Structure 1
Amino acid sequence: MHTKSRDNWVAAAFVAPFVIAYLVLFLYPTVRMIFLTFTDAPLIGTGGWVGFKNYLRLFNDKAYINAFWNTGYFVLLTVIPNTLLGLVFAMMVNRQKGYVQSLILAAFFLPYILPVSVVFRIWEWIMDYQFGIAQYALDAFYGERVAVFRNKAWAMPMIAFVTIWWTIGFNVLLFIAGLRNISQDMYDASALDGANRWKQFRFITWPLIWPVTALVLTIQLILQLKIFDQLYLLTLGGNVNNTMVLVQYIYKQAFQLNKGGYGATVAFSLFMIIVVVSVLQYQVLRAKPR
Protein backbone atom coordinates (compact mmCIF):
# COMPACT_ATOMS: atom_id res chain seq x y z
CA MET A 1 0.00 0.00 0.00
CA HIS A 2 2.86 2.35 0.84
CA THR A 3 4.49 1.69 -2.55
CA LYS A 4 1.20 2.22 -4.39
CA SER A 5 0.60 5.52 -2.59
CA ARG A 6 4.10 6.69 -3.43
CA ASP A 7 3.57 5.77 -7.10
CA ASN A 8 0.34 7.77 -7.15
CA TRP A 9 2.13 10.84 -5.77
CA VAL A 10 4.91 10.47 -8.32
CA ALA A 11 2.36 10.15 -11.15
CA ALA A 12 0.49 13.19 -9.85
CA ALA A 13 3.70 15.20 -9.74
CA PHE A 14 4.39 14.43 -13.40
CA VAL A 15 0.82 15.15 -14.48
CA ALA A 16 0.38 18.31 -12.40
CA PRO A 17 2.35 20.71 -14.67
CA PHE A 18 0.22 19.77 -17.66
CA VAL A 19 -3.03 20.02 -15.69
CA ILE A 20 -2.08 23.42 -14.28
CA ALA A 21 -1.00 24.72 -17.68
CA TYR A 22 -4.23 23.40 -19.23
CA LEU A 23 -6.40 25.05 -16.60
CA VAL A 24 -4.56 28.39 -16.65
CA LEU A 25 -3.77 28.72 -20.36
CA PHE A 26 -6.79 27.07 -21.97
CA LEU A 27 -9.76 26.35 -19.72
CA TYR A 28 -9.84 29.65 -17.82
CA PRO A 29 -9.43 31.84 -20.95
CA THR A 30 -12.13 29.81 -22.68
CA VAL A 31 -14.59 30.25 -19.81
CA ARG A 32 -13.67 33.94 -19.59
CA MET A 33 -14.25 34.37 -23.32
CA ILE A 34 -17.67 32.72 -23.12
CA PHE A 35 -18.58 35.07 -20.27
CA LEU A 36 -17.50 38.08 -22.36
CA THR A 37 -19.89 37.08 -25.13
CA PHE A 38 -22.77 38.07 -22.85
CA THR A 39 -21.40 41.57 -22.21
CA ASP A 40 -20.61 44.75 -24.11
CA ALA A 41 -17.14 44.93 -22.57
CA PRO A 42 -14.26 46.67 -24.38
CA LEU A 43 -11.04 44.82 -25.08
CA ILE A 44 -9.65 45.76 -21.67
CA GLY A 45 -12.05 46.36 -18.81
CA THR A 46 -15.53 45.32 -17.76
CA GLY A 47 -18.85 45.94 -19.44
CA GLY A 48 -22.55 45.61 -18.88
CA TRP A 49 -24.54 42.42 -19.19
CA VAL A 50 -26.39 42.22 -22.53
CA GLY A 51 -27.50 38.59 -22.52
CA PHE A 52 -27.84 37.05 -25.99
CA LYS A 53 -27.75 40.39 -27.79
CA ASN A 54 -24.31 39.74 -29.29
CA TYR A 55 -25.41 36.34 -30.62
CA LEU A 56 -28.55 37.79 -32.18
CA ARG A 57 -26.43 40.49 -33.77
CA LEU A 58 -24.37 37.87 -35.62
CA PHE A 59 -27.32 36.82 -37.77
CA ASN A 60 -27.91 40.41 -38.90
CA ASP A 61 -24.27 41.39 -39.31
CA LYS A 62 -23.55 41.46 -43.05
CA ALA A 63 -19.80 41.80 -42.45
CA TYR A 64 -19.82 38.66 -40.28
CA ILE A 65 -21.83 36.71 -42.86
CA ASN A 66 -19.45 37.90 -45.57
CA ALA A 67 -16.44 36.80 -43.49
CA PHE A 68 -18.12 33.43 -42.90
CA TRP A 69 -18.57 32.77 -46.61
CA ASN A 70 -15.08 34.03 -47.43
CA THR A 71 -13.67 31.56 -44.89
CA GLY A 72 -15.68 28.73 -46.42
CA TYR A 73 -14.51 29.72 -49.90
CA PHE A 74 -10.89 29.68 -48.77
CA VAL A 75 -11.36 26.24 -47.19
CA LEU A 76 -12.72 24.90 -50.49
CA LEU A 77 -9.75 26.36 -52.35
CA THR A 78 -7.13 24.86 -50.06
CA VAL A 79 -8.10 21.80 -48.00
CA ILE A 80 -8.83 19.18 -50.66
CA PRO A 81 -6.30 20.46 -53.26
CA ASN A 82 -3.56 20.63 -50.61
CA THR A 83 -4.31 17.08 -49.48
CA LEU A 84 -4.53 15.55 -52.95
CA LEU A 85 -1.40 17.33 -54.20
CA GLY A 86 0.44 16.24 -51.05
CA LEU A 87 -0.46 12.61 -51.79
CA VAL A 88 0.52 12.88 -55.46
CA PHE A 89 3.88 14.50 -54.70
CA ALA A 90 4.54 12.03 -51.88
CA MET A 91 4.01 9.10 -54.23
CA MET A 92 6.37 10.70 -56.75
CA VAL A 93 9.03 11.39 -54.12
CA ASN A 94 8.64 7.92 -52.62
CA ARG A 95 9.64 6.36 -55.95
CA GLN A 96 12.99 8.13 -55.85
CA LYS A 97 15.99 6.71 -54.05
CA GLY A 98 19.00 7.95 -52.13
CA TYR A 99 20.16 11.56 -52.17
CA VAL A 100 17.78 12.42 -55.03
CA GLN A 101 14.81 11.65 -52.80
CA SER A 102 16.36 13.65 -49.95
CA LEU A 103 16.94 16.69 -52.15
CA ILE A 104 13.41 16.65 -53.57
CA LEU A 105 11.90 16.17 -50.12
CA ALA A 106 13.98 19.05 -48.75
CA ALA A 107 12.79 21.26 -51.62
CA PHE A 108 9.17 20.52 -50.73
CA PHE A 109 9.67 21.01 -46.99
CA LEU A 110 11.81 24.16 -47.14
CA PRO A 111 8.88 26.59 -47.63
CA TYR A 112 7.08 25.10 -44.62
CA ILE A 113 9.81 26.20 -42.21
CA LEU A 114 9.74 29.79 -43.46
CA PRO A 115 7.99 32.36 -41.23
CA VAL A 116 4.92 34.03 -42.67
CA SER A 117 6.74 37.37 -43.01
CA VAL A 118 9.29 35.77 -45.35
CA VAL A 119 6.55 34.08 -47.37
CA PHE A 120 4.81 37.44 -47.64
CA ARG A 121 7.94 39.19 -48.91
CA ILE A 122 8.72 36.44 -51.44
CA TRP A 123 5.30 36.51 -53.04
CA GLU A 124 4.91 40.26 -52.78
CA TRP A 125 8.08 40.54 -54.84
CA ILE A 126 7.07 37.83 -57.33
CA MET A 127 3.60 39.32 -57.91
CA ASP A 128 4.52 43.02 -57.68
CA TYR A 129 2.46 44.95 -60.23
CA GLN A 130 5.42 46.88 -61.64
CA PHE A 131 8.47 44.70 -61.07
CA GLY A 132 7.19 41.20 -60.26
CA ILE A 133 8.57 38.44 -62.48
CA ALA A 134 5.15 36.72 -62.59
CA GLN A 135 3.61 39.82 -64.15
CA TYR A 136 5.46 39.09 -67.41
CA ALA A 137 3.66 35.76 -67.66
CA LEU A 138 0.30 37.39 -66.84
CA ASP A 139 0.93 40.04 -69.46
CA ALA A 140 1.73 37.37 -72.05
CA PHE A 141 -1.17 34.98 -71.38
CA TYR A 142 -3.81 37.21 -69.77
CA GLY A 143 -3.17 40.28 -71.88
CA GLU A 144 -2.47 42.68 -69.03
CA ARG A 145 -0.83 42.97 -65.67
CA VAL A 146 -2.98 42.31 -62.60
CA ALA A 147 -2.60 43.50 -59.03
CA VAL A 148 -3.57 40.01 -57.91
CA PHE A 149 -3.73 40.69 -54.16
CA ARG A 150 -5.92 43.78 -54.68
CA ASN A 151 -8.20 42.25 -57.28
CA LYS A 152 -11.51 40.80 -56.08
CA ALA A 153 -11.47 37.82 -58.44
CA TRP A 154 -7.77 37.00 -58.08
CA ALA A 155 -7.05 37.64 -54.39
CA MET A 156 -8.52 34.55 -52.72
CA PRO A 157 -7.35 31.98 -55.33
CA MET A 158 -3.85 33.47 -55.34
CA ILE A 159 -3.60 33.47 -51.54
CA ALA A 160 -4.84 29.87 -51.58
CA PHE A 161 -2.07 29.03 -54.05
CA VAL A 162 0.53 30.68 -51.80
CA THR A 163 -0.85 28.79 -48.80
CA ILE A 164 -0.62 25.45 -50.60
CA TRP A 165 2.93 26.24 -51.74
CA TRP A 166 3.82 27.17 -48.16
CA THR A 167 2.27 24.22 -46.30
CA ILE A 168 2.28 21.28 -48.70
CA GLY A 169 5.69 20.06 -47.49
CA PHE A 170 4.21 18.96 -44.16
CA ASN A 171 1.51 16.95 -45.94
CA VAL A 172 4.13 15.32 -48.16
CA LEU A 173 6.07 14.20 -45.08
CA LEU A 174 2.98 12.68 -43.48
CA PHE A 175 2.04 10.82 -46.65
CA ILE A 176 5.58 9.52 -47.17
CA ALA A 177 5.54 8.17 -43.62
CA GLY A 178 2.29 6.36 -44.44
CA LEU A 179 3.54 5.05 -47.77
CA ARG A 180 6.67 3.61 -46.19
CA ASN A 181 4.50 1.56 -43.85
CA ILE A 182 2.99 -0.29 -46.82
CA SER A 183 4.91 -3.49 -47.46
CA GLN A 184 6.57 -3.77 -50.86
CA ASP A 185 5.62 -7.45 -50.87
CA MET A 186 2.00 -6.47 -51.44
CA TYR A 187 2.92 -4.59 -54.61
CA ASP A 188 5.16 -7.42 -55.81
CA ALA A 189 2.41 -9.99 -55.27
CA SER A 190 -0.16 -7.84 -57.07
CA ALA A 191 2.25 -7.32 -59.98
CA LEU A 192 2.56 -11.10 -60.35
CA ASP A 193 -1.24 -11.23 -60.56
CA GLY A 194 -1.17 -8.72 -63.42
CA ALA A 195 -2.19 -5.57 -61.52
CA ASN A 196 -1.08 -2.33 -63.15
CA ARG A 197 -0.14 0.81 -61.23
CA TRP A 198 -3.69 2.15 -61.19
CA LYS A 199 -5.07 -1.08 -59.72
CA GLN A 200 -2.25 -1.12 -57.16
CA PHE A 201 -3.17 2.40 -56.12
CA ARG A 202 -6.91 1.66 -56.12
CA PHE A 203 -6.82 -1.56 -54.12
CA ILE A 204 -3.60 -1.28 -52.06
CA THR A 205 -2.28 2.25 -51.66
CA TRP A 206 -5.54 4.16 -51.32
CA PRO A 207 -7.19 1.93 -48.66
CA LEU A 208 -3.99 1.65 -46.61
CA ILE A 209 -3.13 5.35 -46.85
CA TRP A 210 -6.67 6.42 -45.95
CA PRO A 211 -6.00 6.94 -42.18
CA VAL A 212 -3.18 9.34 -43.05
CA THR A 213 -5.42 11.05 -45.61
CA ALA A 214 -8.12 11.54 -42.98
CA LEU A 215 -5.53 13.00 -40.59
CA VAL A 216 -4.21 15.43 -43.21
CA LEU A 217 -7.72 16.51 -44.16
CA THR A 218 -8.62 17.18 -40.53
CA ILE A 219 -5.41 19.14 -39.85
CA GLN A 220 -5.84 21.19 -43.02
CA LEU A 221 -9.49 21.92 -42.26
CA ILE A 222 -8.71 23.27 -38.79
CA LEU A 223 -5.74 25.30 -40.01
CA GLN A 224 -7.55 26.89 -42.95
CA LEU A 225 -10.62 27.77 -40.89
CA LYS A 226 -8.20 29.83 -38.78
CA ILE A 227 -6.55 31.53 -41.77
CA PHE A 228 -5.29 35.01 -40.99
CA ASP A 229 -1.56 35.74 -41.28
CA GLN A 230 -0.78 35.46 -44.98
CA LEU A 231 -4.18 36.77 -46.01
CA TYR A 232 -3.88 39.85 -43.82
CA LEU A 233 -0.34 40.62 -44.98
CA LEU A 234 -0.85 40.00 -48.69
CA THR A 235 -4.08 42.03 -48.91
CA LEU A 236 -3.02 44.84 -46.60
CA GLY A 237 -4.25 48.07 -48.15
CA GLY A 238 -6.65 46.30 -50.50
CA ASN A 239 -10.44 45.87 -50.43
CA VAL A 240 -10.71 43.98 -47.15
CA ASN A 241 -14.42 43.27 -47.54
CA ASN A 242 -13.67 40.91 -50.42
CA THR A 243 -11.10 38.91 -48.44
CA MET A 244 -12.26 39.40 -44.84
CA VAL A 245 -12.27 36.07 -43.00
CA LEU A 246 -13.52 35.22 -39.52
CA VAL A 247 -10.22 35.56 -37.67
CA GLN A 248 -9.58 38.88 -39.37
CA TYR A 249 -13.07 40.02 -38.37
CA ILE A 250 -12.32 39.03 -34.78
CA TYR A 251 -9.16 41.13 -34.92
CA LYS A 252 -11.07 44.06 -36.34
CA GLN A 253 -13.84 43.98 -33.73
CA ALA A 254 -11.64 43.36 -30.70
CA PHE A 255 -8.38 45.17 -31.44
CA GLN A 256 -9.36 47.89 -33.90
CA LEU A 257 -12.89 48.79 -32.78
CA ASN A 258 -12.32 47.89 -29.09
CA LYS A 259 -15.46 45.75 -28.93
CA GLY A 260 -14.22 42.94 -26.74
CA GLY A 261 -17.64 41.45 -26.05
CA TYR A 262 -18.68 41.21 -29.68
CA GLY A 263 -15.19 40.10 -30.73
CA ALA A 264 -15.40 37.28 -28.17
CA THR A 265 -18.79 36.31 -29.62
CA VAL A 266 -17.35 36.04 -33.12
CA ALA A 267 -14.40 34.07 -31.73
CA PHE A 268 -16.70 31.65 -29.90
CA SER A 269 -18.78 31.17 -33.05
CA LEU A 270 -15.59 30.25 -34.94
CA PHE A 271 -14.64 27.87 -32.14
CA MET A 272 -18.00 26.12 -32.43
CA ILE A 273 -17.76 26.00 -36.23
CA ILE A 274 -14.36 24.30 -35.99
CA VAL A 275 -15.64 21.80 -33.40
CA VAL A 276 -18.81 20.91 -35.33
CA VAL A 277 -17.14 20.69 -38.75
CA SER A 278 -14.20 18.68 -37.39
CA VAL A 279 -16.50 16.18 -35.65
CA LEU A 280 -18.68 15.81 -38.74
CA GLN A 281 -15.65 15.34 -40.95
CA TYR A 282 -14.21 12.77 -38.55
CA GLN A 283 -17.45 10.79 -38.62
CA VAL A 284 -17.52 10.86 -42.42
CA LEU A 285 -13.87 9.90 -42.75
CA ARG A 286 -14.19 6.97 -40.34
CA ALA A 287 -15.61 4.90 -43.18
CA LYS A 288 -12.74 3.39 -45.14
CA PRO A 289 -12.91 3.60 -48.94
CA ARG A 290 -13.68 0.38 -50.74
Structure 2
Amino acid sequence: MIAPFLIAYLVVFAYPVYKMFALSFTDAPLIGEGQWVGFGNYVKLFGQKLFYTSVWNTGYFVVLTVIPNTLIGLGLALMVVRLKGWLQSLILVLFFIPYILPVSVVTQIWQWVLDQQFGIAQHIIEFFTGKRVSVFRDPVWAMPMVALVTVWWTNGFNLLLFIAGLRNIPQDYYEAAMLDGATRLQCFRRITWPLIWPVTALVLTLQLILQLKIFDQVYLMTEGGPFNSTYVLLQLVYREAFRLNHGGVGSAVAVMLFLIIVVVSVLQYQLLRVRER
Protein backbone atom coordinates (compact mmCIF):
# COMPACT_ATOMS: atom_id res chain seq x y z
CA MET A 1 0.00 0.00 0.00
CA ILE A 2 2.83 2.42 0.76
CA ALA A 3 5.04 1.24 -2.11
CA PRO A 4 3.88 3.90 -4.65
CA PHE A 5 4.51 6.71 -2.19
CA LEU A 6 7.83 5.22 -1.07
CA ILE A 7 9.07 4.83 -4.66
CA ALA A 8 8.00 8.36 -5.57
CA TYR A 9 9.65 9.74 -2.42
CA LEU A 10 12.94 7.97 -3.08
CA VAL A 11 13.06 8.95 -6.77
CA VAL A 12 11.76 12.51 -6.56
CA PHE A 13 13.14 13.66 -3.20
CA ALA A 14 15.63 11.37 -1.48
CA TYR A 15 17.87 10.63 -4.50
CA PRO A 16 18.16 14.28 -5.65
CA VAL A 17 19.04 15.34 -2.09
CA TYR A 18 21.69 12.62 -1.90
CA LYS A 19 23.14 13.72 -5.27
CA MET A 20 23.18 17.34 -4.10
CA PHE A 21 25.24 16.44 -1.04
CA ALA A 22 27.49 14.09 -3.05
CA LEU A 23 28.18 16.65 -5.81
CA SER A 24 29.05 19.30 -3.24
CA PHE A 25 32.21 17.31 -2.41
CA THR A 26 33.38 17.09 -6.04
CA ASP A 27 34.57 19.46 -8.76
CA ALA A 28 31.84 18.21 -11.11
CA PRO A 29 30.42 20.46 -13.84
CA LEU A 30 26.68 21.00 -14.13
CA ILE A 31 26.29 17.74 -16.11
CA GLY A 32 28.67 14.87 -15.55
CA GLU A 33 30.85 13.43 -12.83
CA GLY A 34 33.82 15.08 -11.16
CA GLN A 35 36.79 14.36 -8.92
CA TRP A 36 36.52 14.18 -5.14
CA VAL A 37 37.71 17.43 -3.54
CA GLY A 38 36.38 16.96 -0.02
CA PHE A 39 35.47 20.24 1.63
CA GLY A 40 37.25 22.25 -1.05
CA ASN A 41 34.02 23.71 -2.42
CA TYR A 42 32.94 24.83 1.03
CA VAL A 43 36.33 26.40 1.73
CA LYS A 44 36.07 28.23 -1.59
CA LEU A 45 32.53 29.28 -0.75
CA PHE A 46 33.41 30.68 2.67
CA GLY A 47 36.19 32.65 1.02
CA GLN A 48 33.76 34.44 -1.30
CA LYS A 49 32.47 37.84 -0.28
CA LEU A 50 29.47 37.28 -2.57
CA PHE A 51 28.38 34.31 -0.43
CA TYR A 52 28.17 36.41 2.74
CA THR A 53 26.43 39.18 0.80
CA SER A 54 23.82 36.73 -0.49
CA VAL A 55 23.25 35.31 3.02
CA TRP A 56 22.77 38.82 4.41
CA ASN A 57 20.41 39.84 1.61
CA THR A 58 18.35 36.67 2.03
CA GLY A 59 18.01 37.33 5.75
CA TYR A 60 17.12 40.97 5.09
CA PHE A 61 14.41 39.90 2.67
CA VAL A 62 13.00 37.42 5.21
CA VAL A 63 12.78 40.20 7.83
CA LEU A 64 11.00 42.47 5.36
CA THR A 65 8.42 39.88 4.33
CA VAL A 66 7.67 37.11 6.84
CA ILE A 67 6.26 39.00 9.84
CA PRO A 68 4.68 41.88 7.84
CA ASN A 69 3.05 39.40 5.47
CA THR A 70 1.62 37.45 8.40
CA LEU A 71 0.34 40.52 10.25
CA ILE A 72 -1.23 42.01 7.12
CA GLY A 73 -2.94 38.70 6.35
CA LEU A 74 -4.34 38.50 9.89
CA GLY A 75 -5.50 42.13 9.83
CA LEU A 76 -7.26 41.71 6.50
CA ALA A 77 -8.86 38.46 7.67
CA LEU A 78 -10.26 40.16 10.78
CA MET A 79 -11.93 42.74 8.55
CA VAL A 80 -13.10 40.42 5.77
CA VAL A 81 -14.59 37.88 8.18
CA ARG A 82 -17.08 40.53 9.35
CA LEU A 83 -18.53 40.77 5.85
CA LYS A 84 -21.41 38.57 4.78
CA GLY A 85 -22.60 36.79 1.65
CA TRP A 86 -21.51 37.77 -1.84
CA LEU A 87 -19.56 40.81 -0.65
CA GLN A 88 -17.21 38.64 1.40
CA SER A 89 -16.74 36.26 -1.53
CA LEU A 90 -15.99 39.16 -3.87
CA ILE A 91 -13.37 40.64 -1.54
CA LEU A 92 -11.72 37.23 -1.10
CA VAL A 93 -11.53 36.77 -4.86
CA LEU A 94 -10.00 40.22 -5.32
CA PHE A 95 -7.32 39.54 -2.71
CA PHE A 96 -6.60 36.02 -4.01
CA ILE A 97 -6.27 36.92 -7.71
CA PRO A 98 -2.64 38.16 -7.37
CA TYR A 99 -1.61 34.83 -5.81
CA ILE A 100 -2.63 32.85 -8.91
CA LEU A 101 -0.77 35.16 -11.30
CA PRO A 102 2.59 33.95 -12.70
CA VAL A 103 5.62 35.71 -11.27
CA SER A 104 6.47 37.14 -14.70
CA VAL A 105 3.08 38.90 -14.84
CA VAL A 106 3.42 40.16 -11.26
CA THR A 107 6.87 41.65 -11.86
CA GLN A 108 5.75 43.25 -15.14
CA ILE A 109 2.78 44.89 -13.42
CA TRP A 110 4.95 46.36 -10.67
CA GLN A 111 7.66 47.48 -13.05
CA TRP A 112 4.96 49.56 -14.75
CA VAL A 113 3.57 50.82 -11.44
CA LEU A 114 7.03 51.81 -10.14
CA ASP A 115 8.51 53.05 -13.41
CA GLN A 116 10.46 56.26 -12.82
CA GLN A 117 8.89 58.15 -15.73
CA PHE A 118 5.21 57.15 -15.86
CA GLY A 119 4.61 54.83 -12.89
CA ILE A 120 1.60 55.84 -10.82
CA ALA A 121 3.41 54.93 -7.57
CA GLN A 122 6.04 57.57 -8.34
CA HIS A 123 3.56 60.26 -7.27
CA ILE A 124 3.57 58.79 -3.75
CA ILE A 125 7.36 58.40 -3.73
CA GLU A 126 7.78 61.97 -4.97
CA PHE A 127 5.44 63.27 -2.26
CA PHE A 128 7.63 61.80 0.51
CA THR A 129 11.10 62.20 -1.05
CA GLY A 130 10.66 65.26 -3.21
CA LYS A 131 11.84 63.46 -6.35
CA ARG A 132 11.17 60.46 -8.51
CA VAL A 133 13.29 57.39 -7.76
CA SER A 134 14.33 54.52 -10.00
CA VAL A 135 13.61 52.06 -7.21
CA PHE A 136 15.07 48.94 -8.82
CA ARG A 137 18.36 50.76 -9.58
CA ASP A 138 18.77 52.22 -6.12
CA PRO A 139 20.52 49.96 -3.54
CA VAL A 140 18.45 51.44 -0.70
CA TRP A 141 15.06 51.02 -2.39
CA ALA A 142 15.57 47.81 -4.39
CA MET A 143 15.13 45.11 -1.73
CA PRO A 144 12.21 46.81 0.09
CA MET A 145 10.41 47.15 -3.25
CA VAL A 146 10.96 43.48 -4.08
CA ALA A 147 9.61 42.68 -0.60
CA LEU A 148 6.57 44.90 -1.23
CA VAL A 149 5.82 43.09 -4.48
CA THR A 150 6.19 39.72 -2.73
CA VAL A 151 3.80 40.67 0.07
CA TRP A 152 1.22 41.92 -2.45
CA TRP A 153 1.61 38.75 -4.49
CA THR A 154 1.45 36.12 -1.74
CA ASN A 155 -0.80 37.66 0.90
CA GLY A 156 -3.99 36.21 -0.57
CA PHE A 157 -2.99 32.70 0.49
CA ASN A 158 -2.33 33.84 4.08
CA LEU A 159 -5.70 35.59 4.09
CA LEU A 160 -7.50 32.36 3.19
CA LEU A 161 -5.71 30.43 5.95
CA PHE A 162 -6.62 33.04 8.55
CA ILE A 163 -10.23 33.20 7.34
CA ALA A 164 -10.48 29.42 7.76
CA GLY A 165 -9.04 29.68 11.26
CA LEU A 166 -11.37 32.49 12.29
CA ARG A 167 -14.43 30.61 11.01
CA ASN A 168 -13.53 27.67 13.26
CA ILE A 169 -13.81 29.80 16.41
CA PRO A 170 -17.28 29.22 17.96
CA GLN A 171 -19.37 32.39 18.06
CA ASP A 172 -20.67 31.35 21.49
CA TYR A 173 -17.35 32.47 23.01
CA TYR A 174 -17.81 36.01 21.71
CA GLU A 175 -21.45 36.16 22.76
CA ALA A 176 -20.60 35.05 26.28
CA ALA A 177 -17.76 37.58 26.47
CA MET A 178 -20.02 40.38 25.25
CA LEU A 179 -22.59 39.51 27.92
CA ASP A 180 -19.83 39.84 30.51
CA GLY A 181 -19.00 43.31 29.17
CA ALA A 182 -15.85 42.49 27.22
CA THR A 183 -14.69 45.02 24.62
CA ARG A 184 -13.62 44.13 21.07
CA LEU A 185 -9.97 44.48 22.06
CA GLN A 186 -10.45 42.18 25.04
CA CYS A 187 -12.23 39.63 22.82
CA PHE A 188 -9.30 39.68 20.44
CA ARG A 189 -6.67 39.33 23.18
CA ARG A 190 -8.49 36.66 25.21
CA ILE A 191 -10.34 34.68 22.53
CA THR A 192 -9.27 35.35 18.95
CA TRP A 193 -5.50 35.56 19.42
CA PRO A 194 -5.07 32.38 21.52
CA LEU A 195 -7.36 30.32 19.27
CA ILE A 196 -5.89 31.64 16.00
CA TRP A 197 -2.30 31.05 17.19
CA PRO A 198 -1.91 27.57 15.57
CA VAL A 199 -2.85 29.06 12.18
CA THR A 200 -0.49 31.99 12.80
CA ALA A 201 2.35 29.56 13.56
CA LEU A 202 1.60 27.65 10.36
CA VAL A 203 1.61 30.84 8.27
CA LEU A 204 4.87 32.02 9.85
CA THR A 205 6.55 28.68 9.15
CA LEU A 206 5.34 28.49 5.55
CA GLN A 207 6.35 32.09 4.90
CA LEU A 208 9.80 31.56 6.39
CA ILE A 209 10.52 28.55 4.17
CA LEU A 210 9.13 30.21 1.04
CA GLN A 211 10.93 33.52 1.49
CA LEU A 212 14.29 31.87 2.22
CA LYS A 213 13.98 30.41 -1.30
CA ILE A 214 13.48 33.80 -2.96
CA PHE A 215 14.73 33.90 -6.55
CA ASP A 216 12.14 34.67 -9.24
CA GLN A 217 11.23 38.22 -8.24
CA VAL A 218 14.85 39.24 -7.70
CA TYR A 219 16.01 37.73 -10.97
CA LEU A 220 13.25 39.36 -13.02
CA MET A 221 13.32 42.78 -11.35
CA THR A 222 16.91 43.50 -10.40
CA GLU A 223 19.07 40.49 -11.41
CA GLY A 224 20.75 40.83 -8.02
CA GLY A 225 21.66 44.49 -8.44
CA PRO A 226 22.30 47.26 -8.01
CA PHE A 227 25.77 46.56 -6.62
CA ASN A 228 24.65 43.10 -5.43
CA SER A 229 22.21 44.73 -2.98
CA THR A 230 19.53 42.15 -3.85
CA TYR A 231 21.78 39.17 -4.58
CA VAL A 232 20.32 36.13 -2.76
CA LEU A 233 21.44 32.56 -2.13
CA LEU A 234 19.44 30.89 -4.89
CA GLN A 235 20.84 33.40 -7.35
CA LEU A 236 24.33 32.34 -6.27
CA VAL A 237 23.32 28.72 -6.97
CA TYR A 238 22.15 29.77 -10.44
CA ARG A 239 25.37 31.70 -11.08
CA GLU A 240 27.73 28.93 -10.04
CA ALA A 241 25.84 26.01 -11.58
CA PHE A 242 24.24 27.36 -14.74
CA ARG A 243 26.43 30.30 -15.71
CA LEU A 244 29.89 29.17 -14.59
CA ASN A 245 29.23 25.42 -14.98
CA HIS A 246 30.50 24.76 -11.44
CA GLY A 247 28.07 22.04 -10.44
CA GLY A 248 30.05 21.15 -7.31
CA VAL A 249 30.17 24.70 -5.98
CA GLY A 250 26.52 25.26 -6.90
CA SER A 251 25.60 22.12 -4.96
CA ALA A 252 27.60 23.38 -1.98
CA VAL A 253 25.60 26.63 -1.98
CA ALA A 254 22.37 24.60 -2.25
CA VAL A 255 23.47 22.46 0.72
CA MET A 256 24.13 25.59 2.78
CA LEU A 257 20.69 26.96 1.90
CA PHE A 258 19.12 23.59 2.74
CA LEU A 259 20.82 23.57 6.15
CA ILE A 260 19.84 27.17 6.85
CA ILE A 261 16.19 26.40 6.07
CA VAL A 262 16.23 23.29 8.28
CA VAL A 263 17.92 25.01 11.23
CA VAL A 264 15.85 28.20 11.09
CA SER A 265 12.58 26.27 10.60
CA VAL A 266 13.30 23.98 13.56
CA LEU A 267 14.27 26.90 15.79
CA GLN A 268 11.16 28.84 14.79
CA TYR A 269 8.95 25.78 15.36
CA GLN A 270 10.38 25.29 18.85
CA LEU A 271 9.92 28.99 19.70
CA LEU A 272 6.33 28.88 18.47
CA ARG A 273 5.64 25.78 20.57
CA VAL A 274 7.00 27.56 23.66
CA ARG A 275 4.81 30.59 22.84
CA GLU A 276 1.77 28.33 22.43
CA ARG A 277 2.35 26.74 25.83
The answer on whether the counterparts of 1:79 and 1:220 sit within 8 Å (CA) in structure 2 is: yes
Match of residue 170 from structure 1:
157
Query: Is 1:100 matched up with 2:75?
Result: no
> How many correspondences in the alignment?
277
1:25 is aligned to 12
Q: Please give the per-residue CA displacement for 1:108-148, whole angstroms capped at 9, x wherever unaligned.
A: 11100101011011001111122212223322332111110
What is the RMSD computed on CA atoms of the aligned residues?
1.3
Q: With structure 2 as the length reference, what TM-score do the two structures score?
A: 0.97
Q: Distance in 1 between matches of 2:58 and 2:224?
A: 19
Cα distance in 2 for partners of 1:218, 1:237 equals 25
Distance of 2:44 and 2:244 partners within structure 1: 16
Question: More displaced, 209-218 or 239-248?
Answer: 239-248
Contact map agreement 2:41 2:252 (CA 8 A) in 1: yes
Matches for 1:59-78 after TM superposition, within 5 Å: 59-78=46-65
Closer/same/farther in 2, CA of residues 236 and 53 from structure 1, 3 Å limit: closer
* 2:241 corresponding residue in structure 1: 254
Asked whether the 8 Å contact 2:241–2:250 carries over to 1, the reply is: yes
Aligned residue identity for 1:188 = E
Determine the structure 2 residue equivalent to 1:16. 3
1:202 equivalent to 2:202? Answer no
Equivalent residues of 1:41, 1:259 under 8 A apart: yes
- Output the CA distance in 2 between the equivalents of 1:169 and 1:56: 42
Provide the C-alpha distance between the structure 2 equivalents of 1:68 and 1:238, rounded to a whole number of angstroms. 15
1: CA distance between counterparts of 2:9 and 2:72? Answer: 36
Once the 2 structures are TM-superposed, how far is the Cα of residue 44 of structure 1 from its aligned partner?
A: 1.1
Residue in 1 that maps onto 2:250: 263
Structure 2's unaligned 5+ residue stretches are none
CA distance in structure 2 between the partners assigned to 1:30 and 1:236 by the alignment: 27
Distance in 1 between the 2:166 and 2:127 partners?
Answer: 40
- Aligned pairs for 1:117-266 within 5 A: 117-236=104-223, 238-239=225-226, 241-266=228-253
> What's the TM-score once normalised by structure 1's chain length?
0.93
- Between the aligned partners of 2:63 and 2:194, the Cα distance in structure 1 is 24
1:164-197 CA-to-partner distances (Å, cap 9, x unmatched) read 0000000000000000000101001001111101
Percentage of pairs with the same residue: 66
Q: Is the 8 A contact 1:250 1:267 kept in 2?
A: yes
> Which range moves more in the overlay, 54-63 or 213-222?
54-63
AA aligned to 1:202 is: R
Q: Please give the alpha-carbon distance, in whole angstroms, between the structure 1 residues aligned to 2:272 and 2:124.
A: 40
The answer on 1:85 being equivalent to 2:72 is: yes
Shift of 1:240: 5.4
- How far apart in 2 are the matches of 1:288 and 1:133? 42
Distance in 2, matches of 1:126 and 1:236, equals: 19
Q: Distance in 2 between matches of 1:140 and 1:275?
A: 43
Deviations 1:68-105 (Å, cap 9, x if unpaired)? 00000000000000001100100000011111111111
Separation in structure 2 between the aligned mates of residue 86 and residue 36 of structure 1, nearest angstrom: 40
Q: Is the radius of gyration larger for structure 1 or structure 2?
A: 1
Give yes or no for contact 1:210–1:288 (8 Å, CA) kept in 2. Answer: no
Find the partner of 1:52 among 15, 18, 39. 39
